[in-house]
Amino acid sequence: MKIPEEATLLRIFIGESDREGGKPLYERIVMKARELDLAGATVIKGILGFGADSRIHAAKLLSISDDLPVIVEIVDSEEKIQLMMPYLDEHITEGLVTMEKVRVVKYRHS
């Protein structure tokens, strides 16, 4: 698979406890990206953050949050990233979705 040098980064900010059909929403998003044959997806778990509700979500020993921030990042051509948008519009009820232009320097596998 090839990604154009001028690509788009889709970044999805959701909560770790967000669910769809009994499974974590971040997992469903990654599976949808794979189904759409996007170049790849990465899930990043945050240790501290807040969103539109201003509630702090933190990973601390004495106050364990059950809803830590999660970011799903997907990079591909803008056209292929647009294939994800109907799915996200339907399934993201709380969170933030951003897109930005990126320059792909290297994308390889052995």
Q: What is the extent of the structural domain holding 82?
A: 6-103
58 falls within a domain:
yes
Counting the structural domains of the chain, the total is: 1
Whole-structure pTM value:
0.88
Q: What is the CATH number of the domain that holds 18?
A: 3.30.70.120
Inform me whether the pLDDT recorded for 32 exceeds 60: yes
Confidence at residue 53, expressed as pLDDT on a 0 to 100 scale: 76
Confidence at residue 110, expressed as pLDDT on a 0 to 100 scale: 73
* Contact predicate 97/11, CB 8 Å: yes
108 falls within a domain:
no
What pLDDT digit, counting tens, does each position of 34-57 carry? 999 999 999 999 888 887 777 777
93 falls within a domain:
yes
Confidence at residue 61, expressed as pLDDT on a 0 to 100 scale: 54
- DSSP string computed for 28-91: HHHHHHHHTT-S-EEEEE-SEE--TT---EEB-SSSB-SS-EEEEEEEE-HHHHHTTHHHHHHH
Residue 38's CB is within 10 A of a number of other CB atoms, namely: 21
Residue 90's CB is within 10 A of a number of other CB atoms, namely: 9
